[in-house]
């Protein structure tokens, strides 16, 4: 069973101004750090395997966006770009997955789903339509069995400072991308990428070292 608390939802909040979107976000996650919204993203707390939703008094335990970040969810970018979607998941009353986004980062139609922990450093730029997850959300075998949720494999994802991730990338569970790395468009990142390197491809592999 899935239960949702939709903090920001285009169906309900698309008419809000940039300031009003920040105010709605701040009700749940605090307004100490100003976030710039272009269009309305989808920011959701999801409980899985629970019969009811227990409200989080301090949403920052689940999602924290530092100052100076830009969240793009409009049709204005030059390239196709969907809504930015941030989803924090709690399974069987475990703590919500933590999404932490550092200062000055840019998300453009970026989809992030955290069951345990996803961390972005400072000044990270995502090209449109990047997808990042720390869990596939289901098991590979014996799907639909009563113990499926207990068998979910969760592996935190970490992205360092000053990283640039190109258009349409997919970052899979357990990956760590080091400071200053550049990931080429359309890459599927399955393994760790060293700091100050350029990597690309499916699967994503190291192409060259960069000068920091």
- Quote helix, strand, coil % in the chain, to nearest 5: 10, 35, 55
Model confidence pLDDT, tens digit, residues 66-112: 999 999 999 888 889 999 999 999 988 788 999 999 999 999 999 99
Q: For residue 58, give both structure tokens.
A: 């301090």
- Look-up: residue for tokens 């703590």? 95
Question: Is residue 8's pLDDT more than 60?
Answer: yes
Residues 6+ apart with CB under 8 A from 156: 116, 117, 118, 119, 134, 173, 174
Q: How far apart are the first and last CA of the chain?
A: 48
Residues belonging to the chain: 212
68-72, 126-130, 143-147: range with lowest mean pLDDT: 143-147
CA 6 to chain centre: 15
State phi, psi for 24 to the nearest 5 degrees. Answer: -65, -45
pTM of the model: 0.92
Q: How far apart are CA 108 and CA 183, in angstroms?
A: 15
Confidence at residue 61, expressed as pLDDT on a 0 to 100 scale: 75
Q: For residue 188, give both structure tokens.
A: 């599927």
Q: How far apart are CA 49 and CA 21, in angstroms?
A: 30
Q: For residue 90, give both structure tokens.
A: 């709690």
């Amino acid at each position: 069973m899935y239960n949702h608390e939709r903090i920001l939802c285009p169906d309900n909040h698309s008419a809000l101004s940039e300031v009003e979107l920040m105010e709605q976000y701040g009700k749940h996650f605090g307004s100490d750090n100003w976030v710039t919204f272009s269009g309305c993203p989808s920011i959701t707390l999801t409980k899985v395997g629970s019969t009811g939703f227990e409200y989080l008094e301090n949403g920052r335990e689940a999602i924290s966006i530092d100052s100076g970040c830009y969240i793009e969810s409009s049709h204005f970018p030059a390239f196709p770009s969907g809504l930015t979607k941030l989803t924090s998941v709690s399974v069987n009353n475990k703590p919500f997955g933590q999404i932490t986004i550092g200062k000055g980062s840019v998300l453009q139609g970026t989809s992030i789903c955290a069951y345990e922990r996803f961390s972005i450093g400072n000044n990270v730029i995502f090209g449109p339509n990047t997808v990042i997850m720390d869990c596939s959300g289901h098991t590979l075998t014996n799907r639909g069995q009563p113990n499926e949720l207990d068998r979910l494999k969760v592996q935190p994802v970490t992205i360092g400072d000053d990283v640039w991730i190109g258009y349409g990338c997919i970052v899979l569970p357990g990956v760590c991308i080091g400071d200053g790395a550049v990931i080429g468009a359309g890459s599927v990142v399955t393994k760790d990428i060293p700091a100050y390197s350029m990597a690309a491809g499916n699967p994503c592999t190291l192409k060259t070292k960069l000068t920091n």
